[in-house]
């Protein structure tokens, strides 16, 4: 708008007829180069990057040589009844792992919370391990044979990919990390395209949000949401399996066939899903006390920790890992054997509680039990008045004592 007003204002000020918009737009390319025009536009460098070539496309010869991981908000709303108290409508986040050599989707994670190191861990754990048991638990009678330990993962510069737990977990399994810097979106082209393909399927389901407000139009996605979280997860799995069995219209290849052709035999034993997830879980260090180990204002204890209490002054702080989806127990590394062992709460409660629920309950209890500031101030003033009155009595008593000596 400013670029349209300025020539008009100058023309009027000098007594000339204002130039038409088309006249100005045609004159600009004659006076400035495309690079100068791009730099003067307020687009954060986006227009300038459009003028540059994009070499360096990431390629891979064999399956699992390179795996790309990325997130996106799912283009659909789901509906859930929470503890019989009401209906919750939300938009989940989708994380997928895509194999570059075969264009197969080898793992995914659907979460309510924004992308985090946990969603990355769940996605990578599913990608690295067999899925037969996982599919059977959800009554899905289709094959999803892709699994294995990637040699390299390509990720963007988001915080969850720079977390200590992600870097540590990749190091434990010998997985190299390559970051995509800003302006190199083309190097994540495989996973970006596949995220869009899955979202295209979701945009055909009730509760779709569309790609934008304009695309959604007058469609009320919150009112028309019908799928609960489990059903939505099932639909995404079926969409992924369908993609892996479908021919690519451009390359004329089928991801499943490409996987069978390009997948090499694993060098070692298959990875255990629990061990993989444990490697990527958030990590803390805690000193042991007679009450056990304290985390999130909870005490955790198990009989095997008993002998460590007497040695607590001679051993280092214990390594602790936890799953934010269930903090009814944590995992502590045995300083003697190096094994990770589950430890339950000291109060014996076994009910699964997420970290977010735990913090919400504590915040609610804190607000409920908080006393009004006026009440706290009144009592403290009364204490101060009592102290002042006592001090005055002491001064009077000391004065009478001195008078009696006289």
* Residue 257's CATH number: 3.30.420.10
CB neighbours of residue 20 within 10 Å: 11
Q: Which residue has the higher pLDDT, 216 or 137?
A: 137
| Residues 94 and 230 reside in one and the same domain | yes
Domain C-terminal end among 244, 278, 312? 278
What is the DSSP annotation of 197-248? HHHHHHTTSTTB--SSHHHHTT--HHHH----HHHHHHHHHHHHHHHHHSPP
Assess contact for 51 and 75: CB atoms under 8 A: no
- Residue 322 is assigned to a structural domain of this protein: yes
- Residue 60 is assigned to a structural domain of this protein: no
Closest CA to 317 of 328, 339, 333: 333
- Residue 61 is assigned to a structural domain of this protein: no
| Residues 183 and 309 reside in one and the same domain | no
Question: Residue 195, exposed/middle/buried by CB under 10 A (0-12, 13-18, 19+)?
Answer: buried
| Residues 28 and 71 reside in one and the same domain | no
| Range name among 120-134, 140-154, 198-212, 309-323 with the lowest pLDDT average | 198-212
CB neighbours of residue 150 within 10 Å: 27
| Residues 82 and 180 reside in one and the same domain | yes
- Residue 58 is assigned to a structural domain of this protein: no
- Residue 55 is assigned to a structural domain of this protein: no
pLDDT tens, residue by residue, 27-41: 888 888 877 777 777
Could you tell me what percent of the chain has a pLDDT over 70? 83
pLDDT tens, residue by residue, 38-54: 777 765 566 666 666 65
Distance between CA 78 and CA 231 in Å, rounded? 9
How many structural domains does the chain have?
Answer: 4
The answer, yes or no, to whether residue 383 has pLDDT greater than 60, is: yes
| Residues 165 and 214 reside in one and the same domain | yes
Closest CA to 65 of 216, 264, 219: 264
Q: Which residue has the higher pLDDT, 183 or 71?
A: 71
pLDDT value of position 348: 87
Work out the average pLDDT over 83-96.
Answer: 72
| Residues 242 and 307 reside in one and the same domain | no
Assess contact for 108 and 125: CB atoms under 8 A: no
pLDDT tens, residue by residue, 185-200: 545 478 888 888 888 8
Beta strand segments in 258-389, E: 283-286, 293-295, 298-300, 318-323, 326-333, 340-344
Distance between CA 15 and CA 2 in Å, rounded? 20
| Residues 73 and 214 reside in one and the same domain | yes
The answer, yes or no, to whether residue 83 has pLDDT greater than 60, is: no
Closest CA to 207 of 79, 357, 306, 71: 79
Q: What is the DSSP letter of 187?
A: G
Quick one: pLDDT band at residue 288, thresholds 50, 70, 90? very high
Distance between CA 111 and CA 157 in Å, rounded? 20
- Residue 315 is assigned to a structural domain of this protein: yes
In what order do the strands lie in the sheet containing 67-73? 105-111, 93-99, 67-73, 152-156, 176-180
pLDDT value of position 218: 63
Domain that includes residue 403, residue range: 374-406
| Residues 133 and 273 reside in one and the same domain | yes
Closest CA to 120 of 165, 58, 186: 165
Name 293's bridge partners.
Answer: 300
Closest CA to 59 of 276, 262, 235: 262
| Residues 132 and 248 reside in one and the same domain | yes
| Residues 243 and 99 reside in one and the same domain | yes
| Residues 268 and 296 reside in one and the same domain | no
- Residue 188 is assigned to a structural domain of this protein: yes
This model's pTM is above 0.85? no
Q: What is the mean pLDDT of the chain?
A: 82
Query: Phi and psi (nearest 5°) for 27?
Result: -75, -35
pLDDT value of position 46: 60
CB neighbours of residue 298 within 10 Å: 17
| Residues 225 and 353 reside in one and the same domain | no
Domain C-terminal end among 223, 243, 278? 278
- Residue 199 is assigned to a structural domain of this protein: yes
């Amino acid at each position: 708008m400013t670029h349209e007003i300025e020539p008009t204002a100058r023309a009027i000020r000098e007594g000339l007829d204002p130039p038409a918009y088309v006249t100005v737009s045609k004159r600009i390319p004659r006076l400035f180069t495309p690079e100068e025009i791009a730099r003067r536009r307020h687009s954060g460098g986006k227009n300038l990057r459009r003028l540059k070539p994009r070499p360096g496309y990431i390629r891979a010869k064999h399956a699992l040589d390179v795996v790309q991981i990325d997130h996106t908000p799912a283009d659909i709303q789901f509906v859930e009844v929470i503890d019989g108290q009401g209906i919750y409508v939300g938009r989940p986040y989708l994380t997928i792992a895509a194999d570059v050599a075969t264009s197969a989707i080898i793992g995914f994670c659907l979460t309510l919370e924004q992308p985090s190191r946990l969603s990355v861990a769940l996605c990578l754990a599913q990608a690295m391990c067999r899925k037969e048991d996982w599919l059977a638990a959800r009554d899905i009678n289709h094959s999803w044979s892709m699994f294995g330990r990637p040699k390299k993962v390509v990720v963007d510069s988001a915080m969850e990919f720079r977390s200590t737990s992600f870097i540590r977990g990749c190091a434990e399994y010998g997985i190299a990390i390559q970051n995509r810097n800003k302006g190199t979106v083309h190097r994540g082209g495989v996973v970006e395209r596949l995220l869009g393909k899955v979202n295209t399927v979701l945009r055909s389901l009730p509760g779709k949000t569309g790609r934008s407000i304009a695309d959604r139009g007058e469609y009320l996605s919150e009112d028309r949401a019908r799928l609960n979280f489990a059903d939505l997860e099932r639909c995404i799995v079926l969409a992924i399996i369908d993609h892996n069995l479908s021919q690519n219209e451009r390359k004329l290849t089928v991801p499943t066939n490409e996987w069978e052709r390009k997948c090499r035999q694993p060098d070692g034993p298959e990875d255990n899903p629990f061990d993989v997830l444990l490697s990527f879980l958030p990590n803390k260090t805690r000193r042991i006390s007679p009450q056990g180990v304290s985390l999130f204002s909870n005490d955790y204890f198990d009989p095997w920790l008993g002998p460590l209490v007497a040695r607590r002054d001679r051993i280092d702080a214990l390594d602790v890992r936890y799953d934010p989806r269930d903090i009814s127990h944590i995992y502590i590394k045995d300083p003697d054997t190096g094994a990770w062992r589950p430890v339950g709460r000291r109060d014996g409660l076994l009910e699964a509680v997420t970290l977010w629920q735990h913090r919400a309950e504590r915040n609610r209890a804190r607000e409920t039990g908080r006393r009004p500031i006026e009440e706290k101030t009144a009592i403290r003033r009364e204490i101060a008045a009592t102290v002042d009155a006592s001090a005055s009595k002491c001064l009077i008593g000391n004065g009478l004592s001195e008078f009696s000596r006289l």
